[in-house]
Amino acid sequence: MPLTAFEIGLISVFSFCFIIQLLFYWIVLAKPYYYMKHIDNKDLQISSSSPPVSIVLLMENSNYDLFRFLPDIFEQEYPEFEVIIVTDGISMEDENELIRFKNRYSNLYTTHVPEDTKNISRKKLALSLGIKAAKYDKILFTETDCRIRSKNWIFLMTRHFSDKKSIVLGFSAIENTNNLSQKFIALDYFFSNLQMISLALFNRPYTGNGRNMAYSKEHFIEQKGFIKYRSLQQGADDLFINEIATKENTSVELSPESVTLSEVNDLHEWKQQKLDRTTTERFYKRGPVAFWRLETFFRIGFFVALISCLICGFPYKSLSNFLLPGIALFCFLVRLSSQIYIINKTVEYLQLEKFYFTIILIDIFQPFINLYFYIYRALKEKENYIYFYEK
C-alpha cells in the first residue's frame, strides 16, 4: 500500500529534523573531540617566559571546603604566581585557618567584602576587589568547590596567552556518581560546557565558566569592571566574557589535566545555577543563543515527528504498517548512537566517567526543564536585581 500524502509529509519533516540533528552533533558538538584528537598534550614543559599569574578566589559562607583543595593550587609547577582569596562572611575558624595558610605560603593574600555592601552583587564586588588587588596582568579564576587535577593547571591555562590572545576558556565538569539525579545534573552541566567550548573553537565565543577561565586585567579596566550589569545579581563570569570575547582575542584550553572538577550539586544548588544562567542568557550575543535554540527546536521537532510516525502505523495489521515506524526507529537509533559516541568520546579524552542512559533523559527532558526555568525566572524577575542603593 503506497504512502499517503500525509505520511510522505510526515516522513519528510522527520527526515529533515533527523539530518539537522546529526549535523549539530557530528559537526558542532563533536568539535572538541576533533580538536583533542589532533592535539598532543604529553611531555609538557614549563617555559621560562611563562607570564606571572594572579589566581582569584572567592571564599564565602558556604558548604564548600576551600582548605581541602587549596594546597593543590600552591603545589602547581609554575615559576611565579600569587593567590588572592576574597572572603565574605566566613567563620572565625576559617579566618584562623587562612592565617595559618598565609604563614605557610608567602604568595597568599587575602581581602574581604564589606558587610554593608548594597549597590552591587556581593560576588561581583568580591571579584572586583580580588582583581584590583592582583599585581599581575594575567588573572586565573576558579571556585571554592573545584578540585584541581594536575600540577600543570596554571601552565596549561596560561600557555595560550600571547600578544593577540588575552582570554582563555577552560573546561569544567561535575564529578559523575551512581545516583541517577546526580548523573543527570552532571550531564546537564557537561552539555552546557560542551556548547560553550564548541562555539569558541568555531571562533564564536559567547560565554565563560568562572570555575576555569583566565583573562587579562586590562579587560577589566577597559570595561570598568562589572559596571554594565552592576544591578544584576549574576553575570560576574559569563556576561563579562560575553562582553569582551572575540574570535581574535579568545583561546580554548582543552586537555584532561586542565579540567577542574566539582562535586555533584544537590538539586537546590543546581536549580539556583540554572536560574542564574537563564537570567544572564538573554544578555548574551544573539547569534549563539539563537543557534542553540534552533538545536532545541529541531530536537523537539524530531521527537514530535518520531511519535507521530510510530502512531501512524498503529495497530500494525500488515507489513506496510511497519514501514513508517520502522524508518523512525532506525533513525532514532542512529541519532542515539551518534550522541553516545560523540559525548563519550569527548568524555574519554577528558578522562571523565562516561554517560549512557542519562543521555536519553537529557535528550528528552532538558528542553522542558529549561522552559520551566525560563517561566520561573519571569515570575521571579525582581529577585535577580539589586534595588537598594547607598545614599
CATH number, domain of 94, equals 3.90.550.10
According to the model, what pLDDT value does residue 89 have? 81
CA distances to 132, 230, 313 from 205, in Å: 25, 22, 45
Task: Note whether residue 129 is domain-resident.
Answer: yes
Closest by CA to 85, choosing from 71, 103, 98, 68, is 98
According to the model, what pLDDT value does residue 388 have? 43
- What number is the average pLDDT over the span 142-170? 94
Q: Which residue type occupies 89?
A: G
**337, 63 in Cβ contact below 8 A?**
no
Task: Note whether residue 277 is domain-resident.
Answer: no
Closest by CA to 36, choosing from 359, 352, 349, 371, is 349
According to the model, what pLDDT value does residue 62 have? 62
Task: Note whether residue 16 is domain-resident.
Answer: no
State the pTM of this model: 0.92
According to the model, what pLDDT value does residue 66 have? 67
Angle between the N-to-C axes of helices 286-312 and 5-23, in degrees from 0 to 180, rounded to the nearest 10: 140
CA dihedral defined by 12, 359, 27, 335, rounded to 10 degrees?
A: -30
According to the model, what pLDDT value does residue 176 have? 77
Q: Where residue 239 falls among pLDDT bands split at 50, 70, 90?
A: very high
Structural domain count of the chain: 1
Count of CB atoms situated within 10 Å of the CB of 318: 9
Residue whose grid cell is 589566581: 55
Closest by CA to 325, choosing from 312, 340, 337, 315, is 312
More confident residue, 386 or 109: 109
According to the model, what pLDDT value does residue 340 have? 97
Per-residue pLDDT at 223 exceeds 90:
yes
Per-residue pLDDT at 371 exceeds 50:
yes
Residue whose grid cell is 579596566: 221
Least confident of 39-53, 178-192, 272-286: 39-53
Domain of 221, in residue numbers: 47-193+205-266
Least confident of 34-48, 100-114, 333-347: 34-48
> Could you give the residue ranges of the DSSP H alpha helices within the chain?
5-23, 31-37, 66-74, 92-104, 122-133, 153-158, 180-201, 217-222, 238-244, 267-281, 286-312, 323-349, 357-379
According to the model, what pLDDT value does residue 43 have? 47
Q: Residue 170 contacts by C-beta under 8 Å, 6 or more apart in sequence?
A: 156, 157, 209, 212, 213, 214, 252, 253, 254, 258, 259, 260
Q: Where residue 33 falls among pLDDT bands split at 50, 70, 90?
A: very high
Tell whether omega for the bond before 315 is within 30 degrees of 0, i.e. cis: yes
Q: Residue 230 contacts by C-beta under 8 Å, 6 or more apart in sequence?
A: 119, 120, 121, 124, 386
Task: Note whether residue 328 is domain-resident.
Answer: no
Q: Residue 149 contacts by C-beta under 8 Å, 6 or more apart in sequence?
A: 256, 257, 258, 259, 260, 261
According to the model, what pLDDT value does residue 144 have? 84
Count of CB atoms situated within 10 Å of the CB of 45: 6
Grid cell of 86 as nine digits: 576574597
Task: Note whether residue 32 is domain-resident.
Answer: no
CA distances to 10, 202, 244, 296 from 21, in Å: 17, 18, 30, 9
Per-residue pLDDT at 390 exceeds 50:
no
Q: Where residue 379 falls among pLDDT bands split at 50, 70, 90?
A: confident
Grid cell of 352 as nine digits: 571523565
- What number is the average pLDDT over the span 273-301? 94
Task: Note whether residue 87 is domain-resident.
Answer: yes
According to the model, what pLDDT value does residue 150 have? 94
Q: Where residue 56 falls among pLDDT bands split at 50, 70, 90?
A: very high
- What number is the average pLDDT over the span 308-312? 89
- What number is the average pLDDT over the span 337-365? 95
Rounded distance, CA 9 to CA 7, Å?
A: 5
- What number is the average pLDDT over the span 9-34? 96
User: In the chain, what percentage of residues exceed pLDDT 90?
Assistant: 65
Rounded distance, CA 98 to CA 215, Å?
A: 26
**What mean pLDDT value characterizes the chain?**
89
Beta bridge partners of residue 84, listed in sequence order? 56, 109
According to the model, what pLDDT value does residue 231 have? 80
Rounded distance, CA 210 to CA 277, Å?
A: 12
**154, 76 in Cβ contact below 8 A?**
yes
Q: What is the pLDDT of residues 244-256, one digit of tens each?
A: 999 999 999 999 9
Task: Note whether residue 311 is domain-resident.
Answer: no
According to the model, what pLDDT value does residue 214 have? 98
Rounded distance, CA 62 to CA 56, Å?
A: 17
According to the model, what pLDDT value does residue 121 have? 81
Pick the most confident of 69-78, 86-95, 186-195.
186-195
Per-residue pLDDT at 321 exceeds 80:
no
3-class SS at 117? coil
- What number is the average pLDDT over the span 162-174? 96
According to the model, what pLDDT value does residue 291 have? 97
Task: Note whether residue 67 is domain-resident.
Answer: yes
Q: Which residue type occupies 172?
A: S
